[in-house]
Structure 1
Amino acid sequence: MSEQSRHDAWSAGESYDLYMGRWSRQVAPRFLDWLAPAEGLDWLEVGCGTGALSGEILARCTPASLTAIEPSEGFLAQARARVSDERARFLTGDAQALPVGDATNHMVVSGLVLNFVPDRATALAEMQRVARAGATIAFYVWDYPGGGMEFMRAFWQAAIALDPAVHDLAENRRFPFCTQEGLVGLAEAAGLAFVESARIEVPTMFRDFEDFWHPFTLGAGPAPGYCMSLAPDARQRLKEKLAADLPRASDGNIALKARAWAVRGTATR
């Protein structure tokens, strides 16, 4: 495990939902609207997490089937509890070695996952392998380098101000390729044809500071993992700095934004 990734705790589905799931559920329908897929297709989802995108595919796209792959048993348990549709099956698996046959899917998608896959080229090759000729392969990730995740950026700016040594733990440093150009380049290098991209932006509204802070104390994800690794007094200093720095409306709301880049292309083999 690298020093950068040692706080990447991705096992507790309920904690993840409080931290990121509520925002990923807003992005998923916008992504599917952009894809505008035909009905009656066989879908594969790579890295389904707690089922945000899975549920939207089943509710909006009238698939013939959906196979969702996820390495975390904790996330799979949450996804299975949330999605009971008989068209769906949830399997334990790795994006770099998908447990699915060749050329078996019309739609191969991945949401907010690709940046965490160690070998992205292999993952995209696997997505091509399991796609039928002419299938759509599409994915989206947060715009970390462009400051698109404003609440994460606020967290790391405060953390770095208190301890400059954690600079390289922030997602913008860890995932510099998560730009529109970088992601399009990945898709083209993987051999996808007719590559297109789109910007997806959603509001992230916190009702008060505790609504903002509490998910960082649950340990699910890089920033929460780092937060909970701190000694209590250091964590309290971080909390106080964030409380002082964050912009608030007169009613206490904290209004920020989250931006993702989506990419799609056509399978060529």
Structure 2
Amino acid sequence: MGFDVAGEAYDRFMGRYSRPLAARFADFLGVEAGQHALDVGCGPGALTEQLVARLGATHVAAIDPSEPFVAACRDRFPGVDVRKGAAESLPFDDGVHDVAAACLVVHFMKDPVGGLAEMARVTRTDGIVGATVWDLAANRAPMRPVWEAMAEIVPDHPGERDFPGGSRASLVAVLEGAGLRDVASEELTVTVAHPTFEEWWEPYLHGVGPVGDALASLGDGGRERLEEVLRRTLGPGPFELTATAYAARGLA
């Protein structure tokens, strides 16, 4: 899956949505001064940025399996303990964090329940473990226009609707399956303004994530057809797109 890309490429693609989402997610988790927090699947650092602003760099740790993302996060947030690794095998001792959070990561974990159970292990008793994932099941993610156009070009393409954690029920089930207690959930919505079609479309051409893989599979002719559908649907700009995620949290 296409996450071995520079942090800047991911920022242009998803950061414009993940940054405002991360702010709302940190509010939902109740992150506050004095805590120590872990950002699991940190990417280039959308949630890390929020944690550093609220807690200070020395109270934040972050981890991601992508070497380019780890490098970007380290460069952007000196003092944060940024490591390379996966959620399913966290290199931290038991109970060392007050908060462990995964922003737009659960649906990419090889073992989502195992990953959340690891997050619970490294969180103190009664600490907060949380995750947020776009509402993929109802196609309310930022990639919605692309997947709708893809359905017109390649009707049998599966998209992302069936990814784990991509609905409220699925995400809550992952947390409960990991043994978290008193699980609560909430919708988080962000709206992003795009000045032109080109500003919105260009980041999709860098092969990031499942939608990047899908575009690559179309070939030049298929991508041109897809772009024609998208230009017809969205127009030249400016336009706004609204995306909705589900967030869930529980006690370790």
TM-score tier (shorter): over 0.9
Residue in 2 that maps onto 1:200: 188
Q: 1:264 aligns to what SS in structure 2?
A: strand
Aligned 8 A contact 1:218 1:228 in 2? no
What residue number does 2:160 align with? 171
Q: Give the aligned partner of residue 47 of structure 1.
A: 41
**Match in the other structure for 1:26:** 20
Q: How far apart are the structure 1 equivalents of 2:212 and 2:135?
A: 19
Pair 197,40 (structure 1): closer, same or farther in 2 beyond 3 Å: same
Computed over aligned residues only, the root mean square deviation of the Cα atoms, in angstroms, reads: 1.6
User: Is the alpha carbon distance of 1:92 and 1:177 closer, same or farther for their aligned partners in structure 2, counting shifts above 3 Å?
Assistant: closer
Answer yes or no: is the 8 Å Cα contact 2:31–2:54 preserved in 1: no
Q: CA deviation at 1:176?
A: 5.7
Matching residue of 1:11: 4
Counterpart for residue 156 of structure 1? 147
Equivalent runs, 1:109-258 vs 2, <5 Å? 109-149=101-141, 151-165=142-156, 167-168=157-158, 170-172=159-161, 174-175=162-163, 177-246=165-234, 252-258=237-243
Return closer, same or farther for 1:90/1:63 CA change in 2, 3 Å cut-off.
Answer: closer
Partner secondary structure for residue 24 of structure 1: helix
* CA deviation after TM superposition for structure 1 residue 247, in Å: 5.5
Deviation at 1:144, TM superposition (A): 0.8
TM superposition shift of 1:162:
1.4
Residues of 2 paired with 1:125 and 1:47: CA distance?
A: 15
CA distance in 2, matches of 1:76, 1:92: 6
Q: Secondary structure at the match of 1:231?
A: helix
Q: CA deviation at 1:26?
A: 0.6
Given that 2:215 and 2:223 are in contact with CA atoms closer than 8 Å, whether structure 1 keeps it comes out as yes
Distance (whole Å) between structure 2 residues aligned to residue 38 and residue 164 of structure 1: 46
Q: Distance in 1 between matches of 2:164 and 2:45?
A: 26
Which residue, out of 242, 246, 251, partners 1:261?
246
1:43–1:107 CA contact under 8 A, matched in 2: yes
Residue type at the aligned position of 2:152? A
Quick check: 1:199–1:261 contact (8 Å CA) kept in 2?
yes
Distance 1:121 1:199 in 2: 21
Cα deviation, 1:189-237, whole Å, max 9, x if unaligned, reads: 2221111111110002211111121111111111122213332222111
Cα distance in 1 for partners of 2:140, 2:62 equals: 27
* Contact in 1 for aligned 2:106/2:165 (Cα 8 Å): no
Which secondary structure does the structure 1 equivalent of 2:88 belong to?
coil
Q: What corresponds to 1:3 in structure 2? A: none
Match of 1:66 among 43, 52, 60: 60
Contact residue 39 and residue 63 of structure 1 kept, 8 A: no
What does residue 5 of structure 1 align with? none
> C-alpha distance in 1, partners of 2:251/2:76?
30
2:137–2:160 Cα contact (<8 Å) kept: yes
Superposed, 1:99-118 pairs within 5 Å as 99-118=91-110
Gaps of 5+ in 1: 1-7
CA contact (8 A) 1:16 1:220 kept: yes
